[in-house]
């Protein structure tokens, strides 16, 4: 049984050493630097790049969608802004029809109504291929943007070597439950430590889906690869943000993080949906790890340490926990060295983050250690064994409107809720279908594709 104790001690010691070096360097590189290249406001509105904001929606709550679109409509941006709301075959179009109607009166808003649910990635591409702005901002339908997000991300994109940039994410429902508070702290750490350190070398490994801006010229070069991602012969329907970021880096573009461009997104408030989300993310991370490894020889050595730390640390921790629990079960002996080492590392990490953020709430992030050990480690092992599974897990099946016809409709801003085929919004709307004050917004009717 000494072998179990030795294995647990060795594993937790290696974990502590790797984590100390990795997290220590991460904390140093994440510190703000005065050497960051300055950006200047363009002179005159015509010099600002045009921006297309793309919002894919699937069975979104009407109040959440309305808040998202309101935050986009209220952007203080001096350049041209166009918004493409893509309804991805939602089964609740009757419920969201009033939201569509409200924002259809804004000439900046366009709506694409997909007859079938095709997935977030293809919904995004449907809008990207129809839009024409210099920059493309992907926004999740449950996310609200600070009024200066478009401006700050656009300023960062003045550097033509940058292909993508993301803002800082927070949880809009942070105060709802103990879990949402933990997730909000997790997002702060992911953005202000992990992404901030990676951005020091122009290589953020994942520009997160809720708020990420791309240069159209770069995006168009990669769009076919992005659309046709397969894993073991099956289309990959999630992890689109990480995969697109890796493609940007692989093509030689920089990816950046803008900490003062803040976006708030709705996070799971119950453990079940949270774990399903983490399972989906774990699968996408594993799938893109090998693609990311090919980039490392041309990047800074720290990024190699970052990848090794993120992937090897959980394995060492899992080995330490499994051998320690086996020792406890077979001998009744508590692996005190392993327990005390985990407790000490948790205390030090939470204390340092609380000091850096100037927020005592991060001391409560110690609770995340239990979730990590007893839930995340088994979940990641399961994700590794089920990589071919492409289910979203958290997405409810939609009732395909209009009989599930395999075609989509693109229309300029319109209003009205004539019901055909139970969709809540008709596939084609004429000016005479609209309220009198909205008919003038119809510019070119509807273009349908097979």
Q: What is the 3-state secondary structure (H, E, C) of 318-363?
A: HHHHHHHHHHHHHHCCCCHHHHHHHHHHHHHHHHHHHHHHCCHHHH
| Token pair recorded at residue 216 | 């159209």
| Token pair recorded at residue 38 | 């300055």
Residue count of the chain: 450
Residue 92 pLDDT: 95
| Token pair recorded at residue 332 | 């009744």
List, for residues 87-101, the tens digit of each pLDDT value.
Answer: 999 999 999 999 999
Residue 334 pLDDT: 93
- pLDDT at residue 362 greater than cutoff 80: yes
Average pLDDT over residues 70-84: 97
Residue 284 pLDDT: 86
Quick one: which of 90, 153, 108, 100 has its CA closest to 399? 90
Quick one: which of 405, 397, 396 has its CA closest to 426? 405
Angle between helices 240-250 and 216-227 (to 10 degrees): 120
Average pLDDT over residues 383-398: 67
What pTM, to 2 d.p., does this model score? 0.85
Who wins on pLDDT, 392 or 9?
9
In percent, how much of the chain has pLDDT > 90? 71
- pLDDT at residue 392 greater than cutoff 90: no
Quick one: which of 371, 200, 138 has its CA closest to 275? 371
Taking CA atoms, 96 is separated from 93, 171, 220, 445, in Å, by 5, 23, 31, 21
Who wins on pLDDT, 386 or 61?
61
| Token pair recorded at residue 141 | 């339908």
SS3 state of residue 161: coil
Phi-psi region of 422 (alpha: psi -120 to 50; beta: other; left: phi over 0): left
From CA 308, how far away is CA 439, in angstroms rounded? 58
């Amino acid at each position: 049984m000494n072998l179990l104790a030795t294995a647990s001690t060795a594993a937790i010691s290696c974990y502590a050493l790797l984590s100390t070096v990795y997290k220590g360097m991460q904390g140093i590189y994440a510190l703000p630097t005065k050497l960051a290249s300055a950006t200047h406001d363009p002179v005159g509105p015509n010099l600002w790049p045009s921006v297309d904001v793309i919002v894919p929606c699937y069975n979104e709550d009407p109040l959440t969608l309305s808040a998202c679109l309101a935050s986009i409509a209220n952007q203080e941006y001096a350049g041209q802004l166009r918004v493409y709301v893509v309804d991805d075959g939602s089964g609740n179009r009757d419920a969201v029809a009033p939201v569509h109607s409200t924002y259809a009166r804004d000439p900046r808003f366009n709506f694409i109504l997909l007859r079938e649910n095709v997935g977030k990635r293809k919904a995004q591409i449907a809008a990207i291929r129809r839009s024409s702005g210099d920059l493309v901002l992907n926004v999740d339908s449950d996310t609200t943007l600070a009024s200066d997000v478009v401006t700050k991300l656009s300023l960062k994109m003045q550097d033509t070597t940058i292909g993508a940039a993301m803002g800082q994410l927070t949880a809009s429902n942070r105060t709802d439950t103990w879990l949402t508070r933990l997730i909000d702290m997790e997002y702060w750490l992911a953005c202000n430590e992990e992404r901030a350190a990676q951005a020091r070398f122009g290589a953020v490994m994942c520009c997160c889906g809720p708020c990420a801006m791309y240069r159209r010229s770069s995006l168009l070069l990669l769009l076919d690869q992005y659309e046709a991602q397969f894993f073991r012969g099956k289309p990959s329907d999630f992890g689109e943000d990480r995969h697109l970021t890796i493609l940007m880096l692989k093509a030689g573009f920089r990816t950046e993080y803008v900490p003062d461009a803040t976006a708030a997104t709705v996070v799971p408030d119950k453990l079940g949906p949270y774990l399903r989300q983490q399972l989906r993310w774990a699968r996408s991370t594993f799938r893109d790890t090998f693609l990311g490894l090919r980039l490392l020889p041309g990047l800074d050595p720290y990024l190699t340490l970052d990848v090794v730390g993120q992937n090897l640390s959980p394995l060492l921790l899992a080995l330490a926990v499994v051998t320690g629990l086996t020792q406890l079960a077979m001998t009744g002996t508590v692996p005190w060295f392993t327990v005390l080492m985990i407790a000490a590392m948790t205390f030090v990490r939470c204390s340092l983050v609380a000091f850096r953020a100037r927020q005592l709430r991060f001391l409560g992030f110690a609770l995340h250690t239990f979730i990590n050990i007893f839930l995340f480690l088994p979940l990641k092992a399961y994700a590794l064994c089920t990589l071919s599974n492409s289910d979203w897990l958290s997405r409810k099946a939609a009732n395909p409107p209009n009989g599930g016809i395999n075609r989509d409709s693109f229309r300029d801003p319109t209003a009205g809720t004539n019901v055909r085929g139970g969709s809540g919004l008709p596939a084609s709307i004429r000016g005479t279908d609209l309220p009198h004050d909205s008919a003038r917004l119809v510019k070119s009717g509807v273009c349908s594709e097979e």
